[in-house]
Amino acid sequence: MHSEEVLDIFRKTGALLEGHFILTSGAHSPNYFQCAKVLQYPNYAQILCGEIGLHFAAHKIHAVVAPAVGGIIVGHEVARTLNARCIFAERENGLMQLRRGFEIHRDENVLVVEDVVTTGGSVKEVVQLCRDRDANVIGVGYIVDRSNGTVGFGVPKFSLLSMDVKKYDPSDCPLCREGRLPAVKPGSRSLKS
């Protein structure tokens, strides 16, 4: 699947937003990829996430692990493609944790997935969570790479779309200085557990 095909799906579903956004990392940006607007359509979820699964299909993946909330549907669809378990980690007391009886076993091959990566913070936490349980992290897959390939995880990575989207430190944000739009935070990091 080519980048332009992925962007076309985001445009068709109204998921490529323009304005003044506060990213999960705290940085400000004039663009936001709202993957939930794409993933609400099962056919698009299957197409996009299936591509991630196919990329890692040569490995015997036992479990696909995703950070909640954005990665849950991605994890489920990738796991379906790979015929693997799907589990997700949730933030509890500021840290990614396994809850709901989910387990990762020693020597299991796991694939970590996410919808959008900017700094990779949540994904890095999930990778470490898997390593702490002596699992084999085979790779990381995600739909959108907002870092344009600059974020690393110490394992092979794969994204469907890689872009260098402008982001600004909040103290030096031209969008704030211009004052034309209030900054909004459309992500899920602020959800309460």
What mean pLDDT is predicted for residues 103-121? 94
CA distance 111 to 62: 8
pTM, full prediction = 0.87
Which residues are within 8 A (CB) of 188 and not within 5 positions of it... i.e. 6 or more apart? Answer: 68, 69, 70
Rounded to the nearest integer, the mean pLDDT of the chain is 91
pLDDT at 188 over 80: no
Contact 32, 21 (CB under 8 A): yes
pLDDT at 189 over 60: no
What mean pLDDT is predicted for residues 35-63? 97
What mean pLDDT is predicted for residues 62-91? 96
The predicted pLDDT at position 15 comes to 93
What mean pLDDT is predicted for residues 65-75? 95
Q: Tell me the CATH class for 39-164.
A: alpha beta
Structure tokens of 189?
């990091």
The predicted pLDDT at position 191 comes to 46
* H helix or E strand, kind and range, residue 166: none
